[in-house]
């Protein structure tokens, strides 16, 4: 259970009102203090039962590529025979995944689909996935960590290489001769039709996404 901003405000206000009640002995202030305490207690109890016997699951459509929007399916399960669940969220902060189910019927299941994008490649382990809810008043947020976390592999970002391949094929088919010896490398520029394949600067090509070639000038 975690305090929200509203819950912290309620707690501070309750302490101040209780101190005022002790100092003044005013029955109305005592009544106000009791009402605030009851409201906070009701929020805690109702929030606890709202998440009782709830579970969740996250499925990401594979294959998954970095920098590419994927569809994530969030599943919410209510195993209670009686009593629906309200405003339940499923979140993994480290993976940047989040979805909310407004209502989950008893012995029911709700699916929510959301788009998700992973910035980096590598194995993603959903070890911080949690169910949470601020129902009913939002003073406290009850949290339940999911067991048996899933993992999946994020492949490197997809790159359109059609233009690059077309340029290479054009160079290979041009039959251009290598650059004469004795010329000095001066700069890097975009590829132009007829440039020899020998002059392609592969590191600059990889960074820019388009063919880049080395420019030379005649040596003295």
Out of 27-36, 40-49, 55-64, 99-108, give the one with best mean pLDDT.
99-108
Is the CB of residue 33 less than 8 Å from the CB of residue 11? Answer: no
Is the CB of residue 11 less than 8 Å from the CB of residue 149? Answer: no
What's the confidence (pLDDT) of residue 176? 46
Domains of the chain as residue ranges with CATH? 1-156 (2.60.40.10), 162-218 (no CATH)
Dist CA 46 CA 142 (whole Å): 10
Query: Which are the contacts of 104, defined by CB distance < 8 A and separation ≥ 6?
Result: 54, 76, 77, 78, 84, 85, 86, 88, 110
Sign of CA dihedral 194, 197, 199, 204: positive
Is the CB of residue 54 less than 8 Å from the CB of residue 75? Answer: no
Which segment of 66-75, 149-158, 171-180, 203-212 scores lowest on mean pLDDT?
A: 171-180
Dist CA 47 CA 56 (whole Å): 17
Please indicate whether residue 66 or residue 163 has the higher confidence score (pLDDT): 66
| pLDDT, the chain, mean | 83
Tell me what the mean pLDDT of segment 19-35 comes to.
82
Residue closest to 155 by CA, chosen among 220, 87, 64: 64
């Amino acid at each position: 259970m975690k305090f929200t901003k509203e819950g912290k405000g309620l707690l501070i206000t309750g302490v101040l009102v209780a101190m005022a009640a002790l100092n003044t002995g005013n029955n109305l202030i005592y009544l106000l203090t009791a009402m605030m305490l009851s409201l906070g207690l009701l929020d805690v109890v109702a929030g606890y039962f709202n998440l009782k016997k709830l579970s969740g699951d996250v499925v990401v459509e594979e294959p998954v590529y970095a920098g590419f929007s994927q569809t994530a399916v969030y599943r919410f399960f209510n195993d209670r025979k009686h009593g629906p669940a309200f405003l339940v969220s499923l979140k993994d902060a480290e993976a940047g995944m989040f979805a909310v189910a407004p209502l989950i019927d008893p012995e029911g299941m709700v699916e929510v689909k959301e788009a998700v994008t992973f910035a980096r490649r590598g194995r993603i382990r959903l070890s911080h996935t949690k169910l949470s809810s601020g129902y009913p008043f939002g003073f406290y947020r009850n949290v339940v960590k999911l067991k048996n976390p899933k993992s999946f592999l994020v492949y490197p970002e997809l790159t359109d290489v059609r233009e690059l391949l077309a340029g290479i094929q054009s160079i290979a088919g041009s039959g251009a001769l290598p650059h004469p010896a004795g010329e000095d490398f001066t700069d890097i520029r975009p590829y132009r039709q007829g440039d020899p394949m020998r002059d392609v600067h592969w590191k600059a090509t990889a960074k820019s996404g388009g063919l880049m070639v080395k420019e030379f000038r005649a040596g003295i």
